Amino acid sequence: MVNQSIRVEESQSRKNKPDSSELVFGRSFTDHMFVMDYSSGLGWHNPSIIPYQNLSIDPAAMIFHYGQSVFEGLKAFRTQDGDIQLFRPEKNLQRLNHSNERLVIPPIDEEFGLEAIKQLVELDKEWVPDAEGTSLYIRPFIISNEPYLGVAPSGHYKFIIIMSPVGSYYKEGINPVKIAVENKYVRAVKGGTGEAKTGGNYASSLKAQEIVEKEGYSQVLWLDGLEKKYIEEVGSMNVFFKINGEVVTPALNGSILAGITRDSVLELLRHWDISVTERRVSMQELYEAHQDGTLEEAFGSGTAAVISPIGELYWDGNHLNINEGKTGELSKKIYDTITGIQYGKIKDPFNWVVKVGKKTEVK
Amino acid sequence: MVNQSIRVEESQSRKNKPDSSELVFGRSFTDHMFVMDYSSGLGWHNPSIIPYQNLSIDPAAMIFHYGQSVFEGLKAFRTQDGDIQLFRPEKNLQRLNHSNERLVIPPIDEEFGLEAIKQLVELDKEWVPDAEGTSLYIRPFIISNEPYLGVAPSGHYKFIIIMSPVGSYYKEGINPVKIAVENKYVRAVKGGTGEAKTGGNYASSLKAQEIVEKEGYSQVLWLDGLEKKYIEEVGSMNVFFKINGEVVTPALNGSILAGITRDSVLELLRHWDISVTERRVSMQELYEAHQDGTLEEAFGSGTAAVISPIGELYWDGNHLNINEGKTGELSKKIYDTITGIQYGKIKDPFNWVVKVGKKTEVK
Ligand SMILES: Cc1ncc(COP(=O)(O)O)c(C=O)c1O
Ligand SMILES: Cc1ncc(COP(=O)(O)O)c(C=O)c1O
């Protein structure tokens, strides 16, 4: 597989790039996309970079009916020197295969997947914006496309990578959000697909999200599906709490997505010798810590915002105001460090950064 | 909406129809399909019947990423007089809207949806096979197709209906299946999407299904996601048990699909004055009933098989053999009655059947 070369068909025309001050997440796409097919006999084959274009798919394709699909999300950053770099992309490919395993989708060669990302970014490198806080969002995904209405794993798949330039998440500096704890709807449960990055998890979250947004909260904080007591994660972020000087985050229990930003935060805190524990965290514990004044900081972690401080948690009639609704010192320090590494402004002692343009030869 | 007329573009060529002895579920499709678009400003618009064809969809369309979709499944039957009839189709349109509500998809006009089904079946009526036990499977579905990577309800949708001629489910007469009770994986949980007919539920079921199939079982019997004690349903069927002369079926608790066959079985049993209860049914209770010889029959109910007798239940190392692995008397009687009504062989006292070809005028 790694020995396959990627066929490249360059676009004859180039689109206008949106102004970097007007970038909206996930609305405009670059000139090219990567596509690779899978069929039972051939395995993954025919890897190609082609002009960004519509897919032509049979209405009976399984993706439209039984949702067998997985995806990833990562970013390419432009450094002050004009270099382009990815942040821990091998982790995304690992996680993609982990999701594949749960969704009964054949694994892809991770090294080759990374090579595909690099070649695509390299070809569309002019799309990596250079304004402060901007980046190129990369979306690898796999869809089942056998035209068959039986409920069974598909015999055909498409692995696709598309890319979208994104603006700064924080237009006016890092800023806390209000989050509502969800008591009725459930995102995932042990034995389900919560650990995988698959469409169904997000489809099921829309209802609760719609309700809390109307009430002025930006996202939902999910509780465990069994007892609705323990913190799981936010819509598209993992969560951390600083209680009495120590940091805690829910342990990966089988229903939480293993965030790559989460993993980076853990490494960073350990590197700094700050006490951090992965364990069960109940809403009751947070409530009590808030009452006795030891809930010092709370923040979400994810590729989109990196760190998103939580200024208010709404739970069951209680408005828990955290750190006076301001960004905590530790939250800010983590944010500055990770984004500093991503944009090449500070040293990367962890080897997280992967340069684009330094190709491994693929023949 | 009901006042919109359906634009019809007839196919210039007709496909060869598969021989009715060679029909395989969900593999071949009729000459036409129905398509209707939704966009935030216009609502549902442009209903059309067009030649069956591939969809042209942006790779960023939300369906490929966040799985926002719903579907239905029903059948058209050919009677001995050559008439074509549907079985309780209004229930499918009701359920479609119920699923829409959970998935934050705009509702469709149910009457208009039924009209679309009727017109499509009428146009492709030669595809309704006439051999014993065959039928035309109808698959209405809705996909989110706005090209946008934000996790939010889509602003665009497509409502599509495709149809596939299907062979007899039981080639050699109604026949019991072996079912394995699933102890590890979970299909749905209260607060999740189990009550809705949406792709994610089926995607998440593939893993367990794959494992039990290798062990010689045809489907998985799901337990509740909370305690893994109570019976929920089978892969694509609801379940009934006859214990000591009384029939029980799991109550609709928010994580089970409200099967239309299930509802028909309940009506039928009540009509016959056979005691039937919708309540919680634990695996332990079934195990004990099996041990003391009072577990008389077990069967699944669903559109595909109508009634599927269960000859063996495998649970946690125990093989529960039911009715000596043979089809129970009551199971058979229900099967004969429902299929009799569907094919117009016996009287329909419930008004379940809807004839195609008797059009409500749509202007
Ligand atoms: C459900 C969920 N949890 C957590 C995360 C954070 O993961 P990462 O840090 O890898 O972006 C994401 C976003 O990717 C997500 O979708
Ligand atoms: C999960 C599930 N349960 C039950 C059923 C049975 O429902 P119905 O009788 O309406 O076909 C189906 C099939 O439609 C199903 O997919």
Instruction: Render pLDDT for B22-50 as a digit per residue (tens, 0 to 9).
Output: 899 999 999 999 999 999 999 999 999 99
* CA dist., res. B245 & res. B295, Å (int): 9
Both structure tokens of B194: 């189990």
Closest residue, chain B, to A152 (C-alpha): B206
* CA dist., res. B305 & res. B176, Å (int): 11
Q: What is the DSSP string of A65-120?
A: HH--EEE--EEEEE-TTS-EEEESHHHHHHHHHHHHHHTT-----HHHHHHHHHHH
Both structure tokens of A112: 């080759």
* CA dist., res. A190 & res. A226, Å (int): 8
Q: Do A225 and B198 touch (CB under 8 A)?
A: no
Whether B81 is in a domain gets the answer: yes
The answer to whether B356 and B86 are in contact (CB under 8 A) is yes
CATH of the domain at A19: 3.30.470.10
Please tell me whether residues B52 and B105 are part of one structural domain.
yes
Residue nearest to atom 5 of ligand 2 (CA): B237
Q: Do A186 and B186 touch (CB under 8 A)?
A: no
Q: What is the pLDDT of residues B265-280, one digit of tens each?
A: 999 999 999 999 999 9
- The whole-number pLDDT of residue A3 equals 59
Residues in chain A within 8 Å Cβ distance of B226: 189, 225-226
Kindly state whether A54 is in contact with chain B, defined as any CB-CB distance less than 8 angstroms.
yes
* CA dist., res. B190 & res. B362, Å (int): 40
Please tell me whether residues B114 and B190 are part of one structural domain.
no
* CB of B134 sitting under 6 A from ligand 2: no
What's CA A16's distance to the chain center, in Å? 27
Please tell me whether residues B152 and B301 are part of one structural domain.
no
Q: Do B56 and A56 touch (CB under 8 A)?
A: yes
Please tell me whether residues A231 and A247 are part of one structural domain.
yes
The pair phi, psi for residue A45, each rounded to 5°, is -150, 170
pTM of the model: 0.97
Q: Name, in order, each residue with C-beta under 8 angstroms of A16's C-beta and a sequence gap of 6 or more.
A: none
Q: In chain A, positions 222-241, which contact chain B (CB-CB < 8 Å)? A: 225-226, 228, 235-236
Tell me the three state secondary structure of residue B270.
helix
Q: In chain A, positions 177-196, which contact chain B (CB-CB < 8 Å)? A: 184-193
Mark B264-289 as b/e (b = at least 16 C-beta within 10 Å). bbbebbeeeeeebeeeebebebbbeb
Helix (H) or strand (E) holding B86: strand B84-87
> Which residues on neighbouring strands pair with residue A177, listed in sequence order?
A310
CATH of the domain at A251: 3.20.10.10
Please tell me whether residues A95 and A219 are part of one structural domain.
no
Kindly state whether B9 is in contact with chain A, defined as any CB-CB distance less than 8 angstroms.
no
Beta strands A32-39 and A156-166: pairing type?
antiparallel
- The whole-number pLDDT of residue B4 equals 79
- The whole-number pLDDT of residue B17 equals 94
Residues in chain A within 8 Å Cβ distance of B102: 207
Please tell me whether residues A51 and A108 are part of one structural domain.
yes
Average pLDDT over residues B126-143: 96
- The whole-number pLDDT of residue A169 equals 81
Q: What is the pLDDT of residues B342-356, one digit of tens each?
A: 999 999 999 999 999
pLDDT tens, per residue, chain A with 363 residues: 545 799 999 999 999 999 988 899 999 999 999 999 999 999 999 999 999 999 999 999 999 999 999 999 999 999 999 999 999 999 999 999 999 999 999 999 999 999 999 999 999 999 999 998 999 999 999 999 999 999 999 999 999 999 999 998 877 778 899 999 999 999 999 999 999 999 999 999 999 999 999 999 999 999 999 999 999 999 999 999 999 999 999 999 999 999 999 999 999 999 999 999 999 999 999 999 999 999 999 999 999 999 999 999 999 999 999 999 999 999 999 999 999 999 999 999 999 999 998 654 444
* CA dist., res. B54 & res. B60, Å (int): 17
* CB of B88 sitting under 6 A from ligand 2: no
> Which residues on neighbouring strands pair with residue B242, listed in sequence order?
B247, B297
Please tell me whether residues A182 and A166 are part of one structural domain.
no
> Which residues on neighbouring strands pair with residue A56, listed in sequence order?
B56
Q: Name, in order, each residue with C-beta under 8 angstroms of B253's C-beta and a sequence gap of 6 or more.
A: B190, B224, B280
Closest residue, chain A, to B138 (C-alpha): A149
ipTM of the modeled complex: 0.96
Q: What is the pLDDT of residues B308-325, one digit of tens each?
A: 999 999 999 999 999 999
* CA dist., res. A168 & res. A297, Å (int): 23
Helix (H) or strand (E) holding B318: strand B318-321
* CA dist., res. A132 & res. B59, Å (int): 28
A198 closest CB neighbour out of B26, B190, B203 = B203
Residue with tokens 């519509």: A54
- The whole-number pLDDT of residue A185 equals 96
* CA dist., res. A125 & res. A97, Å (int): 26
Residue nearest to atom 15 of ligand 1 (CA): A236
The pair phi, psi for residue B110, each rounded to 5°, is -65, -40
Q: What residue type is assigned to position B156 of the chain?
A: H
Q: Name, in order, each residue with C-beta under 8 angstroms of B68's C-beta and a sequence gap of 6 or more.
A: A199, A202, A203, A206, B62, B103, B104, B105, B143, B144, B153, B154
Domain count, chain B: 2
Please tell me whether residues B131 and B157 are part of one structural domain.
yes
Please tell me whether residues A163 and A193 are part of one structural domain.
no
Residue nearest to atom 13 of ligand 1 (CA): A236
Whether B344 is in a domain gets the answer: no
State in Å: Cα B302 to ligand 2 middle.
Answer: 5
Kindly state whether B150 is in contact with chain A, defined as any CB-CB distance less than 8 angstroms.
yes
Q: pLDDT at residue B2 above 80?
A: no
Whether A144 is in a domain gets the answer: yes
B92, B222, B238, best to mutate for ligand 2 pocket (most atoms within 8 Å of CB) = B238
Q: What angle (nearest 5°) sits at the alpha carbon of residue B264, between those of residues B262 and B270?
A: 105
- The whole-number pLDDT of residue A357 equals 85
DSSP state of A147: B
Average pLDDT over residues B63-71: 98
Please tell me whether residues B125 and B215 are part of one structural domain.
no
Nearest to B189 by CA among A281, A227, A197, A68: A227
Whether A32 is in a domain gets the answer: yes
Whether A345 is in a domain gets the answer: no
Q: Tell me how far CA of residue B69 lies from CA of A289, B10, B55, B234, in angstroms.
A: 41, 27, 15, 21
* CB of B261 sitting under 6 A from ligand 2: yes
Phi-psi group of A62: left, alpha or beta (phi > 0 → left; psi -120 to 50 → alpha; rest → beta): alpha
Both structure tokens of B159: 């409502």
Q: What residue type is assigned to position B319 of the chain?
A: H
First to last CA, chain A: 10
Tell me the three state secondary structure of residue B333.
helix
Q: What is the pLDDT of residues B168-189, one digit of tens each?
A: 887 777 889 999 999 999 999 9
Please tell me whether residues A127 and A230 are part of one structural domain.
no
Closest residue, chain B, to A194 (C-alpha): B204
Whether B346 is in a domain gets the answer: no
Please tell me whether residues A41 and A137 are part of one structural domain.
yes
Tell me the three state secondary structure of residue A21.
coil
- Tell me how crowded residue A279 is: count the other CB atoms within 10 A of its CB: 10
Q: pLDDT at residue B363 above 50?
A: no
- The whole-number pLDDT of residue A4 equals 79
Q: Tell me how far CA of residue B217 lies from CA of A145, A333, B169, B181, B336, in angstroms.
A: 26, 55, 17, 10, 25
Whether B331 is in a domain gets the answer: no
* CA dist., res. B201 & res. B223, Å (int): 14
Residues in chain B within 8 Å Cβ distance of A26: 60, 148-150
Whether B141 is in a domain gets the answer: yes
Residues in chain A within 8 Å Cβ distance of B27: 148-149
- The whole-number pLDDT of residue A361 equals 45
Exposed (0-12), middle (13-18) or buried (19+): which is A78, by Cβ within 10 Å? buried
Kindly state whether A287 is in contact with chain B, defined as any CB-CB distance less than 8 angstroms.
no
State the residue range of the domain holding B100.
7-170+351-356
Handedness of CA B236, B238, B243, B245 (dihedral sign): negative
- Residue B111 C-alpha, separation from nearest chain A C-alpha, in angstroms: 23
Average pLDDT over residues B94-108: 98
Strand residues in A281-325 grouped as ranges (E): 295-302, 306-315, 318-321
Helix (H) or strand (E) holding B238: strand B238-243
